Amino acid sequence: MRSADMNQDELLQPIQPIIFYDGGCSLCRREISHYQHIDQQQRICWIDLTRKPEMLSGYAISYDAAMQQLHGVNPAGDVVKGVDSFLLIWQHLHRYRMLVGLIHTLRLNKVLNLVYGVFARWRYKRRCEEGCVIKR
């Protein structure tokens, strides 16, 4: 189809959000699997960094940083990390949209980022203590 034949909606379709996750972490894998199950329309592009680390190359995200915290890219092309990555997921999954509004209304982003930061450091350290091989 030529672009002249396309309607306005087809020309302006936004890109899909992208989520980069540590597929070698059993906890991360279970959580992402839960979200993928809900994402029946495949609104989100899920990238397991243990299988496709090269997918980070266009986004100014280091492999090490992406393995330490959940990272994503929103439809506008902006990189997000930590709780903002979860908010990006939840914005695109019908069951979780109200949670995003609640978090914003109650201004919980900073507190949740602090808590997630502590958890993410613990998870990364624990994962490596279990004998992980993380490319650097």
Q: Which long-range contacts (CB under 8 A, 24 or more apart) does 34-41 make?
A: 35/89, 35/93, 38/93, 38/94, 38/95, 38/96, 39/92, 39/93
Residues of the chain whose pLDDT is less than 50?
1-13, 136
Question: For residue range 90-121, what is the model confidence (pLDDT) as tens digits?
Answer: 999 999 999 999 999 999 999 999 999 999 99
pLDDT at position 58 is: 87
Rg (CA), the chain: 16
